[in-house]
Structure 1
Amino acid sequence: MTSLDALPPLREALAAHGLMAKKAFGQHFLLDLNITRKIARLAEVGEGDVVIEVGPGPGGLTRALMETGARVTAVEKDERFRPLLEDLAAAGELTLVLGDALAVDEAALAGGAAAHIVSNLPYNVGTPLLIKWLTEPWTPASLTLMFQKEVADRIVAPPGAGAYGRLGVIAQAICEAKLVMDVPARAFTPPPKVDSAIVRLVPRPDRPEPRRLDALQKLTAAAFGQRRKMLRASLKALGGEDLILAAGLDPQARAETVPVAGFLDLADAWLERRG
């Protein structure tokens, strides 16, 4: 078995295979091992931990995760990176899955273990993947994910902040969410037009059960779909003022001022009214 230390630097490996980032896949390579090692530390994974990584590309973050002694499964859609990732697999605990992360079964990949998701997410599928991981029956042990800075801010925003919206309510209802690292555009090859940030999410022990979570998604879609309107107007089709009062909220409030707990109270009131 080849050791990780014996592998060529990432820039040399990319050049040897003539590989460049594809805009269609939202690819921006993170090649600085100092940064990727810091991300692995922030993920709090170590010897024997099961890690799922999406969109490894040439394997910069993958190498850092493997160095911790974690057992990594990398899901990559772009076949061009197969040779580089197979070289990594020959050097340590890495399983390569070629396919679309939106379609894979994470529970099967984890094999019954408590798996951590750590990823520099492709920009074009970051939010759909997060919603999938938050709302599907399988629950990860933790998620340490890189997003565009704007998306990261939305995930962790408090009520009243300009970035506070549906994504933040759903994420914070299910997880403790914290922005743990900013990553400037210049850290990537090629540099994107925006900065990025790492968000760490740890599922709450009181995560909403599926029925309550489904209600939360419906109510937040309605409330933030018309965020300039008062709740009594935006939620009119779902129960209007009676529902809002039953949840102990002000019908004249707007969605961006309602805390996560308030939306959960709305979900409970809506479910109770439906019997």
Structure 2
Amino acid sequence: MSRLPPLPPLREVIAAHGLSAEKALGQNFLLDAQLLDRIARVPGDLDGASVYEVGPGPGGLTRALLGAGAHVVAVERDRRCLVPLIELAQVVDGQLTVIEGDALDLDEAPLVGRGAHIVANLPYNVGTALLIRWLSDTAWTPWWASLTLMFQKEVAERIVAKPDSDHYGRLAVLAQWRSTPRIAFTVNRAAFVPPPKVTSAVVHIVPADAPEGVRLATLERITAAAFGQRRKMLRQSLKSVSGAIEALEALGIETTRRAETLSVEDFVALARILDAPDG
């Protein structure tokens, strides 16, 4: 376990650099050290581990990760936050690497290395896009060992949702077809500066075995059609997907059912038939 050198309080760092959370960047700063330490504990023991952090802002979660003994690569696109992050890097003896850039544009694996944990208080406006990117890794098992991510609670519930629930949809299927997500805990809006309008939640995701004979592109095509018209029966919502109705019948799935009644395994089985050489 690493022990950080004495650091000024985060609020003083924010004040000294004239920082404020930018709504346009989806920022909400977390300053509660106990809460930040709790987030850093979710992936398990990080002593000596590699961690990739997106959108560290003034560095609150970064401090917690460093204090847990992690070697952190932090990517920040807000140039205002780079100075305090670089100052932090200078006092932790090579434990922190700061990269200026947009995470959506980076080839991350070479920067961080395989087996890294991704831990981030994600900006709300890019959180889902980044999650889908990390879940869409062509090579599976992916380069990351786990994801510990902050989302709006509603998005978190969509990630872990089960069939026949209001939140179950494309995101649940794409998240659960080859990984295991759970909500670690919720975070009151008052914990943030400024407080967002919604409650947040920390989601922890670990890779699972990828089903064989299934392509992500096929699963995305099926779920887009099925949940794009979720109030319609499958025989209507999936009629635009060639072979889908026949595949449903081959699986013994009633075409009068609706998308939210199918399990993740049902969608995977459907995709497997469509991806078969004679499908």
- Classify the TM-score, shorter chain: over 0.9
Structure-to-structure mapping, 1:105-254, within 5 angstroms: 105-111=107-113, 113-137=114-138, 139=142, 140-204=144-208, 206-208=209-211, 212-238=215-241, 239-254=243-258
In the alignment, which residue of structure 1 is the partner of 2:37? Answer: 37
> C-alpha separation between the residues in 1 aligned to 2:266 and 2:214?
17
Amino acid paired to 2:99: V
Provide the secondary structure at the position in 2 that maps to 1:124. coil
- In the superposition, relative to structure 1, how do residues 225 and 22 fare at CA in structure 2: closer, same or farther (>3 Å)? same
Amino acid paired to 2:273: A
Structure 2: unaligned runs, 5 residues or longer: none
Range with greater deviation from structure 2 (49-58 or 264-273): 264-273
Provide the secondary structure at the position in 2 that maps to 1:4. coil
Alignment deviations for residues 123-167 of structure 1 (CA, whole Å, 9 cap, x no partner): 000000000000023611000100000100000011011000000
Amino acid paired to 1:167: L
> C-alpha separation between the residues in 1 aligned to 2:54 and 2:258?
36
Deviation at residue 274 of structure 1 after TM alignment: 5.1
Amino acid paired to 2:186: D
8 Å Cα contact 1:232-1:244 kept in structure 2: no
> C-alpha separation between the residues in 2 aligned to 1:240 and 1:135?
22
8 Å Cα contact 1:231-1:240 kept in structure 2: no
Give percent identity, aligned residues only. 55
> C-alpha separation between the residues in 1 aligned to 2:4 and 2:79?
22
Q: Does 1:265 align with 2:269?
A: yes
In the alignment, which residue of structure 1 is the partner of 2:22? Answer: 22
Q: Does 1:100 align with 2:102?
A: yes
8 Å Cα contact 1:223-1:255 kept in structure 2: yes
Structure 1: unaligned runs, 5 residues or longer: none
Normalising by structure 2, we get a TM-score of: 0.93
8 Å Cα contact 2:244-2:270 kept in structure 1: no
Normalising by structure 1, we get a TM-score of: 0.95
CA RMSD of aligned residues (A): 1.5
Provide runs of 4+ in structure 1 moved above 3 Å: 208-211
Provide the secondary structure at the position in 2 that maps to 1:268. helix
Alignment deviations for residues 239-273 of structure 1 (CA, whole Å, 9 cap, x no partner): 24312112332211111110000000010111126
